[in-house]
Amino acid sequence: MNPQPIQTPTAPLPIGPYHQAIQAQGTFVFLSGQIPLNSQGQMVGDDITLQTRQVMENLGAVLKAAGCGWQQVVKTTIYLVDLGDFSAVNQVYGEYFSDGYAPARACVQVARLPKDARVEIDAIAILPSS
């Protein structure tokens, strides 16, 4: 199976040459990193909690468009401009996973993110069995 692009208008459109997600090998969905833009492409503000919530909502919209949910996410990577935001990001991030489930994850500090966002998160999910 050829990789299939996934796109939804309920998450911000890509700001470069990439798709919101790609479905590959029939079961894997690779979600591009999301920054805290609303669906109209506007930054939601400078507060790390607000930015993280918007990023998670964007990822959730792309997951839904792919036919997945949070329980199908197997790996995420969090990119932070300031690791001092780690606790606040963790608090919001944890609200999206339930019943003790959380995917594998990495978190790294970066010098800068697109549009001067403070957080970006990408994900890999597996489509649910039909």
Q: To 5 degrees, how large is the angle CA 28–CA 125–CA 43? A: 120
Catalytic site residue from 88, 107, 126, 127: 107
* Amino acid at the residue 79: Y
Known active-site residue 107:
yes
Report how far residue 102's alpha carbon sits from residue 82's, in angstroms, rounded to the nearest whole number: 23
- Checking DSSP bridges between strand 21-24 and strand 73-80, what pairing results, if any? unpaired
The answer to whether 40 and 34 have CB atoms below 8 angstroms apart is no
Report how far residue 35's alpha carbon sits from residue 40's, in angstroms, rounded to the nearest whole number: 13
Residues noted as catalytic: 107
